[in-house]
Structure 1
Amino acid sequence: MEMLAAGGERPQLQLQLLWAVVVAGAVVAWCAVRALEWAWWRPRRLERELRSQGLRGTPYRSPAGDAPLSEQLNGEARSRTMPLGCHDVVPRAMPLFHQTMKEHGKVSITWFGPMPRVTITKPELVREVLSNKFGHFEKLKLGRFQRLLHNGLGSHEGEKWAKHRRIINPAFHLEKLKRMLPAFAACCTEMVDKWEGLAKTDEPYEVDVWPEMQSLTGDVISRAAFGSSYLEGKRIFQLQGEQIELAVMTMNKIHIPGYIHLPTKSNRRMKQIAAEIEGMLKRIIAKRESALKAGEASSDDLLGLLLESNMEQAKGNNGSNSGITIDDVIGECKLFYFAGMETTSVLLTWTMVVLSMHPEWQDRAREEVLHVFGNRAPDYDGLSRLRIVTMVLYEVLRLYTPLSALTRKTYKPMELGGVRYPAGVVLTLPLLCVHHDKDVWGPDADEFRPERFAEGISKASREAPAFFPFGWGPRICIGQNFALLEAKMGLSVILQRFSFELSPSYTHAPFLVGLLQPEHGAPVRLTRLH
């Protein structure tokens, strides 16, 4: 009987094993089809659809896209420096886009992993994409990678974006920014006092202004964002700087599915930094919330204004789900650093470099600053009257645009500029290329000519407006007035106390590490003014 039972079980086990093999085979086949669809069939289908409409560009070869070619071209570009006084930075800063547009036209195809990436350079089309009236263009989602850097206003869409913008807007009203000017002035004065202490004599003294400007804008954003929690804010700024460097190293591999989850050394460190920053911010926010509720805290800094606006929003809607969460507040605080500190430090650094190359404009800007302020601390009314300084800053933003490109993705078929783009195409808006386009700015597009902004932004270019350093449309950078006020204050205080020229050791080498930075620093020679 036992033998009969055993004989009956064997076919059953064989049948179960057969089913397991069939199911496993089906799963493997399904995964293989999905992988082929992602890595080959879909990219080739999209490529055929774009090329059938006359678009040209680099061919699709592998799921790595143009990352290997980009790495090669970046290496070649970085092996060469630029002549002093030359502002034609696109070939060195964006070699892949420069070469592709040169070979295949301004509207050309490159590859971000298996996704086709089309450059859009006509100003009217850039404005149309960034205006995004019908929701056809959305920001490229980087998921967990994005959250490690920041999870603020810039990464949200739809109703969540509208809610965050509504709550954050009051913190950037002009009257609120005016109240932050004393913090701006204090940070700038501390920096130039330190420089004067190091100089000791009236002889020129050499300073690398790139780390100095990073430190200055880190101090400003720490005080402006966190007020009395300034020292804790400085630690966050240092960690965010390290996080940005790690993120740039990771960007070329982000197209590999699941790469951010692999336990690589840089991925582990990025997660550690994110956890440390979030822990510090939670403590600062909890303390501030308690103080605000008890009526014991000032709301003159960005964090206080944000929390106050959030509390009022929730109160006005009877405590319904109309405010934002603590995690949302943390995301916005991280974005304050990511956007507020880096952009202005790059702008001030390139402004000092460019004014060293063009001393006649340095003299004109200083003359204006001394005429308006003399030796007293700059104030808002005076800063708003600085016409030449504003022209200089605009021209530096054009030539050395900190954020060199913006990206959007089509989530449904969309016609733009006579081309029908299918869903799943990345549209790259290479702002740096637009700002150097001779068809838009004239044959002198690569020259430093601040006077082109003498009648404002709208009349500076042939195709106006074509100036996008802070983006465009409803998603234009909410902190642009903050950044420009800070830059005007910093430059004014420096011009009041010093003249400057490039050090003989300076090498002109703009390159992209997230933002457009000086690869070998920015050593200048400062001379105290009497």
Structure 2
Amino acid sequence: MANTIASVVLGGFLVLLVYLYNLLVLKPKNLRAKLQRQGIRGPSPSFLVGNIPDMERILQHRRLIHSTPTTATEDYPTAISGDWPSIVFPYLEEWKNEYGPVFLYSTGIIQQLYITDAEMVKEICLCTSLDLGKPSYLSKDRGPLLGRGIFSSNGPIWVHQRKTIAPEFYVEKVKSMVKLMVESTTSMLTTWERRFEDEAGGIADINVDDDLRGLSADIISRACFRSGYSQGEEIFLKLKTLQGLMSKRSIGVPGSRFLPTKMNRAIWKNEKKINSMILKVVKQQTESSHEKDLLQMILEGAKSNKYDNDGRPIKIPWEEFMVDNCKSIYFAGHETTATTASWALMLLAAHPDWQARARAEVLEICGDRPPDANMLRNMKTLAMVIHETLRLFPPTVFVVRTALEDIEFKGIMIPKGMNMQIPIPILHRDRDLWGPDAHKFDPERFAHGIVGACKTPQAYMPFGVGSRVCAGQHFAMTELKVILSLVLSKFCFSLSPAYHHSPVFRLVIVPENGVCLRLWTA
């Protein structure tokens, strides 16, 4: 009997060893080999950690070189729109220079195919096959923030979520939200005006990014969940904390997300609290209101029957469906828009000629009236400014996809399981695509739309690409127009001497030191 038990244990141990060897060694090695045989190269990975040590070493070296943030005494028009991606992601620039526009690297055991070849990017963007999905690490390593929501799921689950959420952001729906966007923005600007009362000379320095984050949170809450920022304030603050923690944790190192480190314990604590608060809001809202807002639609989607391509039911606990999609909307719906608004105001402050031009357009179209949907549609200059802001400071850094089956792009066979990574800010600054002034702020390049601005229009992707393009992009553009038009109509502004320009990666690109503006009444 003892021999039998020992044999079973030994057999199980051997099976486990074979499984781990395949997972940790053979699978990553075979994926790389299939691309290496096609001429794709990259830095050699280390066991378990991949190229993470190389990334940290290169990043530390670059930080020593660029240790001082850009200050307001320097040439801002050049400095603020300069090559910040090479400072934030120096390892990508170094490897691109060494291995070309398509190369391999690893984060832990996760294999990444980095792609900046314009034609290959175009093919990926135009691909609508469900064989091209989101990487599994988004729902695992980034699970506390994204879970299995619309940004990280694949196949029938994603299709069901898209059909549930996307209709709430159609053009006609967004038009009906303009009034509340104006109300929320006007309320914020009133608080700014009060600050002038305590300042001599009618000039005030205001750090705008926190206010804009609160404003955007209020708008998404009222527009989609019938509640104000005050009700969801703690959720937003916890999400911001969770976002900061997640941006510091490397992905792909086997087992690292399960270790009870100080960071992981903080992530688990925040995740648990956020999930609990979201379910509490869901309960309160559904008990007090039966209006068909986004929250109700998500709830109906969570409780409705879902089936895969073979007609088999998909089992997702309704609580998980609700929490994951609410977190996704809370995060994407306020963080990315608020950050873009901050960058836009910063760029307009640094380029007073474009600020004056955009203000003149707003005053001509609106006069002394608040903007409505028709007015917003006619703000062409403001649209150009927003597009150029999204080009220079896209809130989402990477378009990421994984090959769910073998798939070919530009003659390269991408093996099943390989992840693809398209760096948006690097493509947005490619001189071959945008011209020799690609690093400069020039909204005029969008005078004839995206097609007229870029040689390969698919390379402009602030809202993602293909069938996975952001469902809320029209909502975001409308909100940005409302915020910027109202700020321009009430204030003139320049960069405060206290502003230090230092973009950093916090899952989105944010101003590390905030955006401090000097404002006075227009």
Task: Give the CA deviation at 1:91.
Answer: 0.5
Consecutive unaligned residues of structure 1, counting only runs of 5 or more, are 1-15, 315-319
CA shift at 1:206, angstroms?
A: 0.9
Aligned to 1:140: 135
Partner of 2:452: 459
CA-to-aligned-CA distance 1:306-325 (integer Å, 9 cap, x gap): 457889999xxxxx999993
CA shift, 1:17, in A, is 4.4
Matches within 5 A, 1:479-518: 479-518=472-511
Structure 1 pair 482–413 and aligned structure 2 pair: CA distance change class (3 A): same
Once the two structures are overlaid, the 10-residue window that deviates more, 122-131 or 342-351, is 122-131
- Partner Cα distance (2:278, 2:494) in 1: 40
For 1:45 and 1:270, the matched residues in 2 are separated by 33
Which residue type is aligned with residue 103 of structure 2?
A: S
Residue in structure 2 matched with residue 6 of structure 1 by the alignment: none
Deviation of 1:445 after TM superposition, in Å, equals 1.0
Match of 2:152 in 1: 155
Q: CA deviation at 1:469?
A: 0.4
| Distance in 1 separating the partners of 2:270 and 2:255 | 20
Preserved contact between residue 86 and residue 93 of structure 2 (Cα < 8 Å): yes
Instruction: Describe how 1:29-428 pairs up with structure 2 within 5 A.
Output: 29-79=14-64, 80=66, 81-82=69-70, 84-85=76-77, 86=79, 87=81, 88-142=83-137, 143-150=139-146, 151-200=148-197, 201-228=200-227, 230-250=229-249, 252=250, 254-292=251-289, 297-299=290-292, 301-304=293-296, 306-307=298-299, 325-428=318-421
* Aligned amino acid, residue 266 of structure 2: R
**Cα shift readout 1:84-122 (whole Å, capped 9, x = no counterpart):** 333222201221211111221111111121233111223
Q: Secondary structure at the match of 1:57?
A: coil
What is the alpha-carbon distance in structure 2 between the residues aligned to residue 229 and residue 441 of structure 1? 41
Mapped partners of 1:218, 1:36: distance in 2: 46
Deviation at 1:64, TM superposition (A): 0.7
**Counterpart AA for 1:465:** Q
Deviation at 1:161, TM superposition (A): 1.5
Q: Distance in 2 between matches of 1:38 and 1:461?
A: 42
Alpha-carbon distance in 1 for matches of 2:303, 2:22: 48
Change (3 A) 1:118 1:463: same
Match of 1:431 among 396, 408, 424: 424
One-letter identity of the residue aligned with 1:480: Q
Q: State the 1:275 CA deviation.
A: 2.5
In 2, the alpha carbon distance for the partners of 1:202 and 1:225 equals 41
TM-score by length of 2: 0.89
1:241 alignment partner AA: K
Contact 1:167 1:309 in 2 (8 A): yes
Q: Which residue of 2 aligns with 1:450?
A: 443
- For 2:119 and 2:487, the matched residues in 1 are separated by 38
How many residues are aligned here? 502
* Shift in CA distance, 366/399, structure 1 to aligned 2, threshold 3 Å: same
Structure-1 separation of matches of 2:477 and 2:302 = 26
- Unmatched 5+ residue regions in structure 2? 307-312
Q: What TM-score, normalized to structure 1? A: 0.88
Letter in 2 for 1:67: I
Q: Tell me the equivalent position of 1:12.
A: none
Structure-2 separation of matches of 1:51 and 1:305:
47
- Once the two structures are TM-superposed, the CA of residue 136 in structure 1 deviates from its matched residue by 2.6
Partners of 1:120 and 1:527 in 2: CA distance: 45
Code of the aligned partner of 2:93: H
2:13 & 2:457 partners in 1: Cα distance? Answer: 55
Task: In structure 2, give the amino acid aligned to 1:37.
Answer: N
Partners of 1:32 and 1:332 in 2: how far apart? Answer: 37
Show CA shifts across 1:472-506 (max 9, x none).
21111000011111111111111011111111222
Structure showing greater radius of gyration is 1
CA contact (8 A) 1:346 1:517 kept: yes
1:493–1:202 CA distance, 2 compared to 1 (3 A):
farther
Equivalence for 1:7: none
Supply the AA of the counterpart residue of 2:277: M
The answer (yes or no) to whether the contact 1:400–1:516 under 8 Å persists in 2 is: yes
2:257 aligned partner, one-letter code: I
- SS of the equivalent of 1:499 reads strand
One-letter code aligned to 1:357: A
Cα distance, 1:327–1:35 mapped onto 2, change above 3 Å: closer
Contact 2:58 2:91 in 1 (8 A): yes
| Contact 1:414/1:420 (8 A) holds in 2 | yes
More divergent stretch after superposition (35-44 vs 412-421) = 35-44
Q: Contact 2:149–2:325 at 8 Å: present in 1 too?
A: yes
Q: Which residue of 1 aligns with 2:310?
A: none
Q: Distance in 2 between matches of 1:364 and 1:308?
A: 46
Shift of 1:377: 1.4
Contact 2:221-2:232 within 8 A present in 1 as well: yes
Mark the CA change 1:359 to 1:180 in structure 2 (over 3 Å): closer, same or farther.
same
SS, match of residue 504 in structure 2? strand
Q: Are the counterparts in 2 of residues 189 and 493 from structure 1 also a CA contact under 8 Å?
A: yes
Structure 1 Cα separation of the partners of residues 227 and 209 of structure 2: 26
Note if contact 1:311-1:323 (Cα within 8 Å) is conserved in structure 2. Answer: no
Q: 1:330 to 1:25 in 2, by over 3 A?
A: closer
Q: Give 1:124 shift.
A: 4.0
Identity within the alignment, % = 31
| 371 and 313 in structure 1: CA distance in 2 versus 1, 3 angstrom threshold | farther
Compared CA separation, residues 400 and 229, structure 1 to 2 (3 A): closer
Q: Which one-letter code corresponds to 2:131 in the other structure?
A: H
- The question of whether the paired residues in 1 share the 8 Å contact of 2:107 and 2:253 is answered with no
* Post-superposition offset of 1:130: 4.0
